[in-house]
Amino acid sequence: MTEQSKSALRWQRKDLLGIRELSAEEITFILDTADAFKEVGTREIKKVPALRGKTLVNFFVEPSTRTRTSFEIAAIRLSADVINISASASSLTKGETLKDTAKILEANHADIIVLRHSSSGAPQFLAERLTSSIINAGDGAHEHPTQALLDLYTIRERKGAVAGLHVVIVGDILFSRVARSNIFGLLKLGARVTLVGPSTLVPREFEKLGVTVSYDIDEILPTADVVNLLRIQHERQRKEYFPGIGEYIRLFGLTKDRAKRLKPDCLIMHPGPINRGVEIDSELADGAQSVILDQVTNGLAIRMAVLYLCGGIATP
């Protein structure tokens, strides 16, 4: 863990809305905190009383299994009480506004609200109106901060540091909140980022963020230290953006043949759920270079850290 800063920074945020507004120091602070929570997972008793007496509401207006489960296990290990609400079970379907639903949650003493929503900015909307801690678990095509943090954590754990690495993000960038949060985080920690994918999904405009855009994956792979393959989001896709599965595999899929171009110590990442045989060859997903399962385990430590920090400070 070479990037641990010894600075005297102390955590002061009640909400985690995105990576964009965090400083490099704050990101490192969360990663260091996650180190401590990863250690808790090795104890005989894997539960700590940090959030005892707090109530956490998992409010997922958009479906999700892995993120919701990860937040739920994280909250349970911190001794918080957890309530899960899905869109179909909430009064949103009866015409109640998001604000009113959230006000009801707060009136029921929800200390922490973990929100997944299809509209960009929904978490910020709530954070400005409620005293509860708001954690963004993915909002539209905007940000998915805990996913980026667990990716950064996994890279730092395997490579010792993020600074100086060349990270290649492949696939559906345009619709991807994971890509956006990752780009912000990687650049803040000093990595070099290249985006690769069909020009319809990886517009040149992204270069304004400080990344390189390429349409030739074979040229880029040999210099990559990390390859992060994003899921093709069929649900967000309109036909005209996407070249078709066969063509996508041929041009951008990480096939066994293509993987021979990678450095032997290049990490292969995927936020899941994997479309086996599309973004990545099935054998590669389970291979020695793949850290896909590490990402899941580290996601738990990251979410414990975020809930501990944002949920553990005094709110007015």
Partner 1 sequence: MTNKQNTRTSSATPPVMDGEAITRALRRIAHEIIERNPELGSVILAGIPSRGVEIARRIADIVQSLAQTSVETGVIDVSMHRDDVGKRAELPRVQASRLPLPLENKTVIIVDDVFFTGRTARAAMDAISSFGRPARIQLAALIDRGHRELPIRVDYVGKNLPTAVGERVRLRLENVDGEPDAVWLVKEEKA
Q: Which residues bind partner 1 (CB under 8 A)?
A: 9-12, 29, 32-33, 35-40, 43-54, 78, 111, 308-309, 311-315
Which of 62/111 has CB closer to partner 1? 111
For 134, what's the count of Cα atoms within 13 Å in the CB-facing half-sphere? 25
CA–CA gap between residue 311 and residue 295 (Å, rounded): 23
Tell me whether residue 78 or residue 134 sits nearer to partner 1 (CB atom).
78
C-alpha to C-alpha distance for 171 and 62, rounded to whole angstroms:
22
Asked if 4 contacts 129 with a C-beta cutoff of 8 angstroms, the reply is no
Task: Please give the Cα distance from 110 to 36 (Å, whole number).
Answer: 26
Nearer to partner 1, 195 or 309 (CB): 309
Q: Among residues 123 and 311, whose Cβ is nearest to partner 1?
A: 311
Cβ closest to partner 1, residue 11 vs residue 242: 11
Query: Minimal distance in Å, beta carbon 50 to partner 1?
Result: 4
Distance (Å, whole) CA 133 – CA 120: 18
Nearer to partner 1, 36 or 89 (CB): 36
Crossing angle of helices 66-77 and 292-312, in 10° steps, is 50
Q: How far is the CB of 311 from partner 1 (least distance, A)?
A: 8
SS3 33: helix
The CB-of-190 to partner 1 minimum distance in angstroms stands at: 20
Nearest approach, Cβ of residue 309 and partner 1 (Å):
6
Shortest Cβ 3–partner 1 spacing (Å): 13
- Residue 93 CB, nearest approach to partner 1 (Å): 33
Instruction: Dump the DSSP string for 223-257.
Output: G-SEEEEPP--TTT--GGG---HHHHHHHH-B-HH
Tokens of 313: 């400070």
Q: Which residues fall within 8 angstroms of residue 239, CB to CB, at 6 or more apart?
A: none
Tell me the C-alpha distance between 284 and 290, whole Å: 7
